[in-house]
Amino acid sequence: MNIEFLGQSCFLIKAGPHSLLTDPFLTGNPLAAKKPEEVHPTHILVSHAHNDHLGDTKAIAKANGAKVYSTFDICQSLQAEGISFEGGNIGGKIPADFGSVKLVPAIHSSGVPGGIACGFVINIAGKNIYFAGDTALFGDMALLAKENIDIALLPIGDYFTMGPEDAAEAVRLIKPKHVIPMHYNTFPPITQDPQQFKKLVESKTDAKVTILDPGDGASF
């Protein structure tokens, strides 16, 4: 399985015939590694409707016939556009041809009236990936330790989400094998040094931190 970072919270997770794109904010992202027309996912996962997450979802879904996984509230806005989707809700595991997607809590606003933001536990190619979306640190992240997370994708930007210290505490609670930081340096308020985050995490937990610049990928 390969995970490519495209900037902000956008990753392309590839395993066999499946390619999962998370929070595809490419248009208007100064650090985006690709243009929307350069990505060809089979599935798109959207954590919430802020523009730096929902982003190019509709255009990419339509161009590729990709199925969107998100909350029911966000998926309702896709229905009229003829986009195929699975609109679940927090706590629910949705079976998929690649494995499954479970919607898990995130503490953040949603960008949709009455909606809530979520994170995902993705089961693909025998691995469990936690994609946190935008979130604060919260104590119930400790429950994710039971999901045997192989790779945690965590925001470290601060200001809109947890910052490096809180994200390091999240790693202590979640106990993943690997961590990839996201949601930093795209805009001035979320400027962070990922190397400092790596040092912090690797000094207080057993997790290994992989820093990906936009356009870089790693195999797991």
The residue within the footprint of Ni ion, chosen from 14, 43, 50, 127 (CB under 5 A), is 50
CB of 109 to Mn ion, least distance (A): 10
Site for Mn ion in 134-163 (CB under 5 A): 134
Least Å distance, CB 175 to Mn ion, is 25
Phi, psi (degrees; rounded to nearest 5) at 116 = -135, 155
Nearest alpha carbon to residue 122 among 161, 83, 149? 149
Q: Does 183 bind Ni ion (CB under 5 A)?
A: no
Q: How many residues does the chain have?
A: 220
Q: Least separation, in Å, of the C-beta of 134 and Mn ion?
A: 4
Site string (79-118) toward Mn ion, x via CB under 5 A: ----------------------------------------
Q: Which amino acid, residue 142?
A: A
Contact assessment for residue 178 and residue 201, using Cβ atoms and an 8 Å cutoff = no
Residues whose CB is less than 8 angstroms from the CB of residue 107 and which lie 6 or more positions away in sequence, other chains included: 117, 135, 136, 138
Of residues 25 and 130, the one with the C-beta less far from Ni ion: 25
4 touching Mn ion, by CB under 5 A = no
* CA 33 from centre of chain: 16
Q: Which residues bind Mn ion (CB under 5 A)?
A: 52, 134
